[in-house]
Amino acid sequence: MANLKARIEGYVGSLVSADTEVEDVLSAERTVLIRLLPEDLLTGNATVSTVTDGVFSRADIGANSDYRVLSVFNETSDMYARLGDSHSKYGNNQSIYFADSNSPVYVVDYGENRETRIFPVADQYRIRYLTFGGDVDISQTTVDGFDRRTLQLFVLKGCAFELSNRIQVSIADLATAFYNASGLTLPTSPIANLPAAPFLTYTDVISSTYTDVDAALDEVDTIIQDLASSSITLPIISVSYADFNTAISNGDIELAQSYLSQIQTELSEYQAESQAVINEFTALNAKRYDSSISHAVNKVDAYLKRLQDIASRADSVALQNEAKSLEKEVSEYRLELERFGTEIQTYGQELQSYGLQLQSKVSEANDKMQRKTLEIQSLNADRQYYDAMYAQELQKLGVVQANG
């Protein structure tokens, strides 16, 4: 016969649970079965001890063990003792319930220290019992205290536990499947590289046109400073999985699914809000640059042309030289602004790409969530199947299942 681990894996595949975890569950199951199973299924595997002082206690089998009494036989009178409900009346010779050799009685005290009192105390008894102590070793083919008819109960319980544990393993990895803001990096804004407007100092020539050019360049600089103060801030994503995990731990799949649906909604809302912020930022900065800066630079060009006309008609060599110098500076500045305009346009495209990546991440998260949900449903159905099989096996053995 294959060992317990191999038999469990024959039903559900390789274990993800540690052997010790399964053994802990089966050890607890062993206690339940010792309490539930009919005596005829347990007696053949019981331990027998001789009692000569009328008392059998946990101390006789080990301080950390508990036990179930299957039978008490009075060897003095060759009579089986019957189970009583209060030891005080059986040891009192004034009581009509006083026990003698021909009507022996035993009483199990279920207190913290668990002991069995047997009356009359002077006789010799043979007590048959099973202990609750000791771990189940799943590398073995048997379980101490049980015959082969009952081993299937341990196998089915192991299957149900393994499938439950797999649900927990799936949940442990679930949060990492969802979009995390740190998983994407916003493109670096070119605003930090804005060109500075030329500062004109033509003090040797008096002309109102210089003042007009300065004013127009100041207007460009103001727009640029306004751009420099702008930034994009995405909404913060805050999805909690606590309620979902609790529902799964409690085996409430329907409630867990409702929490999954809520998480999906929150992810979709986050994606929509983020895309709206990206669209607004891109449109606003395009408007600022394309209309405002272009308009202001056109004004600079107009004043520059006017200055060139004045200089061409003037006899002042200084004015002509300064007009040419200003034209050169403004031309270089325009080139810088054009490069910046290209960067702004590229940045807008990168932001739109970021939005698409974000949408892809959320879609991926939703897909993974759907797959996890189906996996959980499947595992839970399998677990319920093995729980039902376990209950059927108990019924076959004539056991009415109690809690646990």
Distance, in Å, from the CA atom of 226 to the CA atom of 223, rounded to the nearest integer, reads 5
DSSP conformational letter for 118: E
Q: CA 352 to CA 346: how far, in whole Å?
A: 10
**What is the rounded average pLDDT of the residues 369-375?**
80
**Which is it for the CA torsion 267, 269, 270, 272, positive or negative?**
positive
Give the integer Cα–Cα distance in Å for 49 and 106. Answer: 15
pLDDT at 187 over 90: no
Residue 125: φ, ψ to 5°:
-125, 155
Looking at residue 8, its pLDDT comes to 96
Cα–Cα separations (whole angstroms), residue 341 to 287, 290, 337:
11, 8, 6
Whether 134 and 144 have beta carbons less than 8 Å apart is answered as yes
Q: Is 309 or 76 the better-scoring residue by pLDDT?
A: 76
Strand locations in 35-133 (E): 47-51, 55-57, 67-74, 79-80, 82-83, 105-109, 115-119, 125-131
Residues of 85-119 as b/e, b for ≥16 C-beta within 10 angstroms?
A: eebebbbeeeeeeebeeebbbbbbeeeeebbbbbb
Q: Are 300 and 216 in contact (CB under 8 A)?
A: yes
**What is d(CA 313, CA 376) in angstroms, rounded to the nearest whole number?**
87
The segment with the largest mean pLDDT, out of 63-72, 120-129, 224-233, 352-361, is: 120-129
Q: Answer yes or no: is pLDDT of 234 > 80.
A: no
Q: Where is average pLDDT lowest: 8-17, 221-230, 367-376?
A: 221-230
Give CB contacts under 8 A, 24+ apart, made by 355-360. 355/274, 355/275, 355/278, 355/279, 357/184, 358/179, 358/184, 358/271, 358/274, 358/275, 359/271, 359/275
> pLDDT grade, residue 204 (50/70/90)?
very low
Average pLDDT rounded to a whole number, residues 254-275: 80
Q: What is the mean pLDDT of residues 249-278?
A: 79
Say if residues 267 and 362 touch (Cβ distance below 8 Å).
yes
**In terms of residues, how long is the chain?**
404
* pLDDT score recorded for residue 177: 56
200 pLDDT more than 60: no
User: Are the CB atoms for 344 and 283 separated by under 8 Å?
Assistant: no
Q: Do residues 383 and 170 make contact, with C-beta atoms less than 8 angstroms apart?
A: no
For 98-115, write each residue's pLDDT tens digit.
999 999 999 998 766 788
The pLDDT tens digits for 286-342 are 666 666 667 777 777 777 777 777 777 777 777 777 777 777 877 877 777 777 777
Find the mean pLDDT for residues 109-131: 89
Rounded mean pLDDT, 228-237: 70
pLDDT interval class at 165 (50, 70, 90): confident
Q: Report pLDDT for 203.
A: 46
Q: If 0-12 CB within 10 Å is exposed, 13-18 middle and 19+ buried, where does residue 65 land?
A: middle
What residues pair up with 131 in beta bridges, in sequence order?
A: 67
DSSP percent split of the chain into helix, strand, coil, nearest 5: 60, 10, 30
Tokens 């970021």 identify what position?
354
Cα dist from 296 to 153, 194, 201, 215, 230, whole Å? 86, 16, 20, 10, 19
33 vs 328, residue with greater confidence = 33
Instruction: Provide the pLDDT for residue 55.
Output: 94
Each residue's pLDDT tens digit, 207-216 = 666 677 777 7
**36-45, 82-91, 155-164, 259-268, range with the lowest pLDDT:** 259-268
pLDDT of the residue at 403:
46
In the chain, the percentage of residues whose pLDDT exceeds 90 is: 26
Prediction pTM value: 0.64
Q: What is the pLDDT of residue 404?
A: 45
pLDDT per residue over 239-250, tens digit each?
Answer: 777 787 777 767
* pLDDT of 202 strictly over 90: no
